Structure formats: C-alpha cells, structure tokens
Amino acid sequence: MDNHTVVSFENFLLLKESKTLGKMDLGIIGPLANWSMKLQAYPAPNNGMIGYAIDEEENLELSYLDKKLKIPGKCCDVKKTPNFASIEIKPYTSWFSKEENREMLENFIEDYLNDRTHQKVDEVSSAKSDIQIILDSIGVNGNVTNCRKISDCFYEADLDNGLQVEIKKSNENDLFKNLKIYKDSNSKFADVKLKRSGVGQYIEFRCPGGSYSETGDSISSLFKMPTTKYLMGVCLGSIEKDKEADLLSHLQKLIKYHSKEKTNVNKYEMEKEEIQRLKDMLSHTLKTSDLEEMIRGISPEK
C-alpha cells in the first residue's frame, strides 16, 4: 500500500463540474478560475497515484496505469520533494491555449479521478464489512450505517445506536491494526481501544472511575473474559446484569482460592491486587457496602 501521504485539498474543484465525482484528497487542485491547475505526482513506483517523469528535453510526462500525457516543461512549474513533486500547470501558454491539449489534460485527469473513485468505494465497502465483523465478534450491538475513508488504511464509521468507530489497518487486506469506539459524537476520547500487539490482542477501557486494560491470545479469548464483557458494557452505557453477575462470581472464586499464607509472596501480592482491581470495577454498578456484603463470609481454601 502507498506509504506517501497525499496532501489534503479542502477546495477541490471538479473538471467540467462532473456530478459523478465528489471532493477527494487525491492530489489535485483545479482547474481554478484562471484555468491553472496543481497536481501532486510521484516518481515510479507511484503506487496508484499520478506518476511523473522529466525527459532529456525537460518535458514533463504524466502517467497513470497505461495512460500518458506529455506537457512541455515551460508550461509547468515543478517543485520536487524527496517523495513527490508539486506540479503547477500554467494556463497562459501556447500549448494550453489549444483546445485539443486542454481536452487531453481534462480526459487524463477525469479518467484518473473516476478510477480512483471506484477504488475508494470498494475500499470503504470492505472496511465497513470488516468493522461489522469485529463489532459482532466483540459483542457490540449495532449496525454500521455509514463508513468513510479518512486516509490510507484509516476509516471512520457510524452505528445505528449512536456509537462511532475508528479503524486503522496495516494494509488494505488487514482486518485491523487498532480500533477505537466512542460512545457518541461528543466523546473527545475513545471509550474503548482494541489493538493487535506482538503478544496478541490488547484492549483498554476508559471508564468513569478509571482506566483498565486486558490482553488475550485472540479476540474470542479476550471477549470470553468476564472483566472484558463487563467493562465493555460500563464504557458504552449498556451494562447487563448477567455480565455483572459473571464478574462478581469471578471475584468470589478468586477470594475463595486466594491463599492467606505468604509462602509465595509474588503470587499472593498479584492475587491481592487483582481482587482489589475487580472490586474497583464492580463499584461502577454496585455500592461498596452491597459488594462487601456479597463477598463477606467467603473463606479461602486451605
């Protein structure tokens, strides 16, 4: 996948005001009112963007797939960077004044935009399906109603229940690299962050009472954990009583089998910390007094 960042143009004007094309960040501004145009082009390999080369006579050759267009060097200003070139086509030249030359340029650009538009639609459709697959896998209720591409391998989506999602991929064939879920459009920070790491799957929850994280070998194993299922509901405002009951049962078992003998100090301290962590989690839906009553009298196994 292309690693170059295409400059974002907020005021992209369509050639011939074609109704089939929308505003895109595909490296083009123009034609402007004076018929000048700016392009962002790449040397080979251009990875699906407009390519460029300059011949021995300083003429500029634009290329896209099997399409090529040669423009006299004196008709263009070319500013090179290490990764791409910014090319401004001058309108007041003898070459550009000829209608057939303008038509060749228009056809070249419009073919490129049409092709990239179809690619973009396919990529967005694929990303939308991937997001729905992930949400179904992690138990988030809701259907993706709208998905949009922000940049290469980065998409945003809206769900019919008000949740919003961001997904980043390592490449377009990847399911996901990381995924963020926002409770609503007013959320400045993600409530849930899921990402793939070297050790498996990692998830972070931003709850009203603090942040928590869990890891798992796979998405399925991660979301079988009572802590994960409970925290997902707390963060997204859809906590279910059975999830609370499962986490409470998990806490009660941990207390029951927690050894009071400090023969293994590390194990003892880890279990003690986990018990307190689970108590903190459950405080989101249970009063401290009620929780202490529920776990009072549980005797550790000898």
80-84, 195-199, 258-262, range with the lowest pLDDT:
258-262
What percentage of the chain has pLDDT greater than the value 70? 84
- Average pLDDT, rounded, for the chain: 82
Per-residue confidence (pLDDT) for residue 155, from 0 to 100: 93
Q: Where are the beta strands (DSSP E) in 27-80?
A: 28-29, 37-41, 51-54, 60-64, 67-71, 76-80
Position with higher pLDDT, 62 vs 26: 62
For residues 206-219, give the mean pLDDT. Answer: 88
Q: Is the pLDDT score of 72 beyond 60?
A: yes
pLDDT of residue 302 exceeding 50: no
pLDDT single digits (tens) 219-267: 888 888 999 999 999 998 888 889 999 999 999 988 887 766 666 778 8
Q: What is the pLDDT of residue 33?
A: 66
User: Is pLDDT larger for residue 5 or for residue 201?
Assistant: 201
Burial 280-300 (b: 16+ CB within 10 A, else e): ebbebbbeeeebeeebeeeee
Higher pLDDT, 69 or 265: 69
Nearest to 105 by CA among 34, 178, 31: 31
- Which phi and psi angles does 231 have, rounded to 5°? -65, -35
Tell me: the pLDDT tens digits for 148-193?
988 888 999 999 999 999 999 988 778 889 999 998 878 889 999 9
CB 123 within 8 A of CB 115: no
More confident residue, 101 or 33: 101
Task: Give the ranges where the chain is alpha helix by DSSP (H).
Answer: 94-97, 99-137, 219-222, 226-236, 241-257, 265-282, 288-295
Q: Report the distance separating Cα 177 and Cα 194, nearest Å.
A: 9
Highest average pLDDT, of 65-69, 195-199, 258-262, comes from 65-69
Is residue 15 over pLDDT 50? no
The predicted pLDDT at position 299 comes to 55
Q: Residue 194 and residue 36: Cα distance in Å, rounded?
A: 45
Position 264 scores a pLDDT of 73
DSSP state letter for 238 = -
Report, as an integer, the average pLDDT of 101-115.
Answer: 87
Q: Is 65 exposed, middle or buried (0-12, 13-18, 19+ CB in 10 A)?
A: exposed
pLDDT of 135 higher than 50: yes
Are 274 and 254 in contact by the 8 Å Cβ rule? The answer is yes
For residue 297, pLDDT over 80 is answered with no
pLDDT score for 14:
35
